[in-house]
Chains A and B, each alone.
Chain A
Amino acid sequence: MSDIQQFIEGRLPIIWESVVQTFQMVSVSLLFSVLLGLPLGVLLILTRPGNALENRGVYQVLNVVVNIIRSIPFIILLFFILPFTKLLVGTSIGIKGAIVPLIVHAVPNIARLMESALLEVDSGVVEAYRSMGIRTRHIIWHVLLREARPSIILGLTIALITLIGGTAMAGLVGAGGLGDLAYRFGHLRYEVDVMYVTVFILILLVQCIQTIGNKLAAKYKKG
């Protein structure tokens, strides 16, 4: 009993702090990467050959850039873009310093997930809307994004879970978070109980996110 009490008193505040850090990193970077990644995915679709804004040059450039960033492992990207991070947020360490590489890592990922989600939309419906004299921007919003909602949500679920994985490595730039906690206590200090609790929290978190994602996607899927 006293062991548990001791653990709760001694370690719970640290664990809680890590949870908060993880949430901060994940929420801010998710917000920004969706804001950048979703339009990028739409642009990838629209500039594809045979689509509304067909433009081989733009499509190829976007395609290559997305591929390049996606081929760099996060841990390398983290250090690779340190100068860029510093330039952007004034520091390359702590939560702020971790969020920039997290976003850079997540944006092309989300762009691809959005691209494949939008590709699933029946191009015939787009044609039908074109035939009715509907403006392209309305077609993007009311047809493409609307019809792709279930796939977009599932894609974002994947992106979110990947992002949580990314935060584990953010400890390397002193950003803290659950992954960092498990590493420091479990690996460096051999306090396995802290590691177990963090891993358990992470599992719970991922489970919840996936379940919510699936439910939301099903809700929008309809008939």
Chain B
Amino acid sequence: MIKLSNVSKSFQTKKGAIQAIDDVSLEVKKGEIFGVIGYSGAGKSTLIRCVNLLEAPTSGSVVINDKEVTNLSAEELLQVRRKIGMIFQGFHLLKTANVYDNIAIPLRLTEVDKEELDKRVTKYLKIVGLEDKHDAYPGQLSGGQKQRVAIARALAQEPEILLSDEATSALDPETTESILELLLKINKELGITIMLITHEMNVIQKICDRVAVMENGKVIEQGRTVDIYARATHPTTKRFVNSTYHKELPANVLQELIQTGPVVRLSFVGESTSKPVLASVSSKFQVSPNILAGGIIQLKQETIGALVVHLNGDQEETKRAIAYLEEQGVMIEGVEVAHV
């Protein structure tokens, strides 16, 4: 649906060229929710703007629905953009227009006839749950409601793709939750492909099928959300994953524990969740597992259980225990002092 190949973008500034995106390739498949996560300055905002050519890539190709879009005429580009909705952190509604007009004006300007226009405004306001707010002005709405209007405005164009630029970053956790649910609903019921960027791992966790992690303009890791959760390899990715677990051990505690055996992070996905593996470890080996922290993460499709466990025992025995756990389908990672 969206295919970026070797996309780079550099900006000329007074201090020289800045490489905002550096050779990024990724593909968003039809019907999925694809997340791009990164800290601010990672280039994700520029990346998502390259999809609808709000920023023209310096090099590389952007293919939407099998059509290369980087070399289109101005007129063709308008038509492509009309099939790609976009929502923003700052909502970007007309302050001087009420909710109805905020949705209706862009439709009018894209030559949607009056009758159809009226139908669409009503339909999409209903979908976002604001059918009673026709006449309200943005100034009278809460942040969450403004984002709903912005979503309705984007949907009313009946796009195949929705781009979300930090759409929940300005909202409180509860409102974020409700907007994420709305995005999920849009994805499921209207079949709209969503590409979003965020710096919040919980957004990825709740709604994304796949995720790419960006740093310094590069994609450093990408894959299915569950895989990223279970076996992140890059330190930045691990930091993001850890941010949802909230299971940080104090360094001094950890230091003390590893004297008597390794501290490991176990991730249970799918089948491995239903087996009593830790109990078997203590009965099969000369190892006593001690659970230090744990949690369950509900991903969009799957559930991941995570435990930080201290395996108390001698080196030989703990090694065998770890091999056994891996055999049982548990994903294991050593917890190093520096990365806690």
Question: Which label, helix, strand, loop or mixed, suits the secondary structure of the B interface?
Answer: mixed
Counting CB contacts under 8 A, is A193 at the interface?
A: no
Mark each residue of chain B from 89 to 101: 1 if its CB lies under 8 Å from any CB of chain A, else 0.
Answer: 0101111111000
Please determine whether A125 and B93 come into contact, CB atoms closer than 8 angstroms: yes
Please determine whether A128 and B88 come into contact, CB atoms closer than 8 angstroms: yes
Tell me the complex Cα distance, A150–B153, Å. Answer: 24
Mark each residue of chain B from 174 to 206: 1 if its CB lies under 8 Å from any CB of chain A, else 0.
Answer: 000000000000000000000000000000000
Residues on A with beta carbons closer than 8 Å to the beta carbon of B154: 132
- Contacts A132-B110, A133-B79; A223 near B94 (Cβ below 8 A): no
Q: Count of A-B contacts with CB under 8 A?
A: 75
Please determine whether A134 and B137 come into contact, CB atoms closer than 8 angstroms: no
Please determine whether B94 and A133 come into contact, CB atoms closer than 8 angstroms: no
Counting CB contacts under 8 A, is A142 at the interface?
A: yes
**Chain B residues proximal to chain A, CB less than 8 Å:** 52, 54, 77-82, 84-86, 88, 90, 92-98, 105-106, 109-110, 136-140, 150, 153-154, 157, 163
Tell me the complex Cα distance, A132–B77, Å. Answer: 10
Chosen A-B contacts, 17 in total, with CB atoms closer than 8 Å, are A122-B90, A122-B92, A122-B95, A124-B92, A128-B150, A129-B106, A131-B81, A132-B85, A132-B86, A132-B154, A133-B81, A133-B82, A142-B105, A220-B96, A222-B95, A222-B96, A223-B140
Contacts A128-B153, A130-B54, A133-B82 known; 6 new A-B pairs at CB < 8 A = A122-B95, A132-B106, A134-B106, A142-B105, A147-B94, A222-B98
Q: Which of A129, A130, A131, A221 contacts B96 (CB 8 A)?
A: A221
Residues on B with beta carbons closer than 8 Å to the beta carbon of A223: 95, 98, 136-140
Total residues of chain A contacting the partner, CB 8 A: 23
**Chain A residues proximal to chain B, CB less than 8 Å:** 122, 124-125, 127-135, 138, 142-143, 146-147, 149-150, 220-223
Tell me the complex Cα distance, A132–B140, Å. Answer: 24
Residues on B with beta carbons closer than 8 Å to the beta carbon of A146: 94, 96-97
Q: How far is the CB of A204 from chain B (nearest CB, A)?
A: 31
Q: Which 5 A-B pairs have the closest CB atoms?
A: A223-B137, A223-B139, A133-B81, A128-B92, A133-B82
Please determine whether B157 and A147 come into contact, CB atoms closer than 8 angstroms: no
Please determine whether A131 and B137 come into contact, CB atoms closer than 8 angstroms: no
Please determine whether A125 and B94 come into contact, CB atoms closer than 8 angstroms: yes
Chain B residue with Cβ nearest A134 = B109
Q: Which of A127, A129, A133, A222 contacts B137 (CB 8 A)?
A: A222
Chain B residue with Cβ nearest A142 = B105
Tell me the complex Cα distance, A127–B80, Å. Answer: 15
Residues on B with beta carbons closer than 8 Å to the beta carbon of A221: 96
Chain B residue with Cβ nearest A222 = B137
Q: Which of B82, B90, B94 contacts A132 (CB 8 A)?
A: B82
Tell me the complex Cα distance, A221–B97, Å. Answer: 9
Residues on B with beta carbons closer than 8 Å to the beta carbon of A133: 77-82, 110
Tell me the complex Cα distance, A176–B178, Å. Answer: 68
Residues on B with beta carbons closer than 8 Å to the beta carbon of A142: 105, 109
Tell me the complex Cα distance, A223–B97, Å. Answer: 9
Residues on A with beta carbons closer than 8 Å to the beta carbon of B157: 132
Q: How far is the CB of A50 from chain B (nearest CB, A)?
A: 11
- Contacts A124-B92, A125-B94, A128-B92; A134 near B86 (Cβ below 8 A): no
Residues on A with beta carbons closer than 8 Å to the beta carbon of B52: 131
Of the candidates B77, B81, B96, B150, the one having the most CB atoms from chain A within 10 angstroms of its own CB is B96
Tell me the complex Cα distance, A75–B254, Å. Answer: 82
Tell me the complex Cα distance, A68–B301, Å. Answer: 66
Tell me the complex Cα distance, A128–B94, Å. Answer: 10
Q: Which of B81, B84, B90, B136 contacts A124 (CB 8 A)?
A: B90
Tell me the complex Cα distance, A203–B182, Å. Answer: 57
Residues on B with beta carbons closer than 8 Å to the beta carbon of A124: 88, 90, 92
